[in-house]
Chains A and B, each alone.
Chain A
Amino acid sequence: MSPDDKDIEKNAEESEAKAATDDSSVTDDSSPEAKEAAAGDETAEKDETAEKSSARGEESAAGEGEKSAEDSPDGVEEEEEEEEEETAGADDPPATGPAHEGEELYGLLAEFKSPGDLVSAAEKVRDAGFTRWDCFSPFPVHGIDPAMGIKMTILPWIVFAIGLGGLGGGLLLQWWTNDYNWPWIVSGKPFFSIPANIPITFETTVLASVLATFFGMWALNKLPQVWHPFFKKDRFLRVTDDSFFIGIEAADQRFRRGETEELLNNAGAEAVERVYIDPDPAAKKMPKPVLAFIMVTSVLALVPFALVAKARADRSPDPHVHIIPDMDFQPKAKSQTANDLFYDSRASRSDVTGTVARGELKADDHFYRGIKSGQWAAEFPAQFDVSQSTVERGRNRFNIYCRPCHGADGKGGGMIHRRAMKVPQQGWVQPSNLHQANIVRQPHGQIFNSISNGIRTMPGYATQIPESDRWAVVLYLRALQRSQNAPVDDVPQQNRKDIR
Chain B
Amino acid sequence: MSTAAHVEDPRAAFREITEAVCVAHERPQPPKAWYVAMVISLGMLGVLGVSLIYLFITGVGIWGNNNVTAWGWPIVNFVFWIGIGHAGTLISAILYLMRQQWRTSINRAAEAMTIFAVLCAGLFPIIHTGRPWLAYFMLPLPNDMDMWPQFRSPLMWDVFAVSTYGTTSVLFWYMGMVPDLATFRDRAKNKIAQLAYGILALGWRGSARQWHRYERAYLILAALATPLVLSVHSVVSFDFAVSQVPGWHTTIFPPYFVAGAIFSGFAMVLTLMIPARYLFGLEKVIKKSHIEAMCKITLATGTMVGFAYGIELFIAWYSGSMYEQFAFLNRGLGPYWWAYFLMVTCNVVLPQLFWFKTCRTNPWIIMVLAILVNVGMWFERFVIIVTSLARTMLPAAWSYFSPTLWDAATLIGSFGLFFTLFLLFCRYLPIVAISEVKNTLPEAHAGKH
Contact = CB atoms under 8 A, between A and B. Distances in A.
Contact flag (A, B; Cβ within 8 A): yes
Interface of A: 22-23, 48, 51-52, 55, 58-59, 62, 113-117, 119-120, 122, 134-145, 148, 150, 152-153, 155-156, 159, 173-174, 177-178, 181-182, 184, 186-187, 189, 193, 196-197, 199-200, 202-204, 206-207, 209-211, 213-214, 216-218, 220-221, 223-228, 230-231, 236-243, 287, 289-290, 324, 326-327
Contacts of A241: 14-15, 18, 183, 186-187
Interface string B200-214: 011111111111111
B186 to A, nearest CB: 4
Contact of B148 (A58, A177, A216): A177
B186 A237 contact: yes
A120 B215 CA distance: 21
Given A138-B435, A197-B151, A220 B213 contact: yes
Interface of B is mostly: helix
Contact of A207 (B12, B57, B167, B206): B167
Contacts of A22: 9, 11
A93 B106 CA distance: 46
Contacts of A187: 152
Contacts of B156: 200
B229 to A, nearest CB: 10
A45 B146 CA distance: 66
Interface in B191-250: 191, 194-195, 198-199, 201-217, 220-221, 224-225, 227-228, 231, 235, 238
Given A119-B449, A148-B208, A181-B148, A200 B160 contact: yes
Contacts of A177: 140, 148-149, 151
Contact of A213 (B57, B217, B446, B449): B217
B64 interface: no
A186 B208 contact: no
A51 B231 contact: no
27 contacts: A23-B9, A48-B189, A51-B191, A55-B195, A62-B191, A122-B208, A137-B206, A139-B444, A140-B208, A140-B435, A142-B439, A143-B449, A148-B209, A193-B152, A199-B154, A207-B160, A207-B164, A209-B224, A210-B224, A210-B225, A213-B221, A214-B221, A221-B209, A227-B203, A228-B205, A241-B183, A241-B187
A155 B206 contact: no
Contact of B179 (A153, A231, A240, A290): A240
A186 B150 contact: yes
Given A23-B9, A139-B444, A242 B202 contact: no
A187 B151 CA distance: 12
A226 B154 CA distance: 44
Contacts of B8: 23
Given A51-B189, A155-B217, A199-B231, A139 B435 contact: yes
Pick from A114, A119, A134, A204 the residue with the most CB of B within 10 Å: A114
Nearest to B232: A203
B207 A206 contact: no
Interface string B1-27: 000000011111011001000000000
Nearest to A145: B212
Contacts of A287: 195
Contacts of B204: 223, 240
B150 A178 contact: yes
A132 to B, nearest CB: 11
B185 interface: yes
A212 B56 CA distance: 38
Chain A binding surface SS class:
helix
B195 A59 contact: yes
B99 interface: no
Interface string B338-352: 000000000000000
A199 B235 contact: yes
Nearest to A117: B447
B443 A55 contact: no
Given A114-B446, A210-B168, A242-B12, A197 B221 contact: no
A12 B146 CA distance: 67
B438 interface: yes
B208 A173 contact: no
B217 A214 contact: yes
A136 B207 CA distance: 4
A214 B152 contact: no
Contact of B445 (A142, A156, A193, A217): A142
> What is the size category of the interface that chain B forms with chain A?
35 or more
Given A177-B140, A200-B157, A225-B203, A58 B11 contact: no
Contacts of B216: 152-153, 155-156, 217
Given A58-B195, A226-B198, A136 B205 contact: yes
Nearest to B215: A140
Contacts of A238: 186
Contacts of A209: 220, 224
B228 A206 contact: yes
A120 B238 CA distance: 55
Given A200-B151, A206-B224, A240 B203 contact: no
Contacts of A178: 148, 150-152
Given A196-B151, A199-B160, A241-B14, A115 B220 contact: no
Contacts of B161: 199, 203
B231 A203 contact: yes
B312 interface: no
Task: Please give me the 9 A-B residue pairs with the lowest Cβ-Cβ distance, nearest first.
Answer: A116-B447, A58-B198, A177-B148, A217-B217, A224-B202, A242-B14, A135-B208, A114-B10, A226-B203
Interface string B149-190: 111111011001100100110011001000100110111111
Contacts of B146: 181-182
Q: Which of A211, A221, A226 has the most chain B CB within a 10 Å cutoff?
A: A221
Contacts of B149: 177
A88 B209 CA distance: 30
Contacts of B225: 210
A231 B147 CA distance: 54
Contact of B206 (A200, A211, A239, A290): A239
Contact of A221 (B59, B131, B214, B231): B214
Contact of B238 (A23, A144, A174, A199): A199
B448 interface: yes
Nearest to A202: B231
B214 A140 contact: yes
Which has the most chain A C-beta neighbours within 10 Å: B131, B206, B209, B214? Answer: B206
Contact of A242 (B11, B153, B191, B228): B11
B30 to A, nearest CB: 21
Most chain B Cβ neighbours within 10 Å, of A22, A140, A173, A287: A140
Contacts of A142: 439, 444-445, 449
A114 B443 contact: yes
A210 B167 contact: yes
B144 to A, nearest CB: 13
Contact of B203 (A143, A197, A204, A223): A223
Nearest to A220: B213
Most buried by B among A52, A155, A189, A213: A213
A210 B171 contact: yes
Q: Of residues B167, B209, B214, B435, which shows the largest number of chain A Cβ atoms within 10 Å of its Cβ?
A: B209
Contacts of B187: 237, 241
A226 B212 contact: no
A144 B208 contact: yes
Contacts of B59: 324, 326-327
Nearest to B217: A217
A65 to B, nearest CB: 11
Given A139-B438, A199-B157, A240 B206 contact: yes
B42 to A, nearest CB: 26
Contacts of A197: 151-152
A136 B238 CA distance: 48
Nearest to A234: B186
Contacts of A199: 154, 157, 160-161, 231, 235, 238
Contacts of A23: 8-9
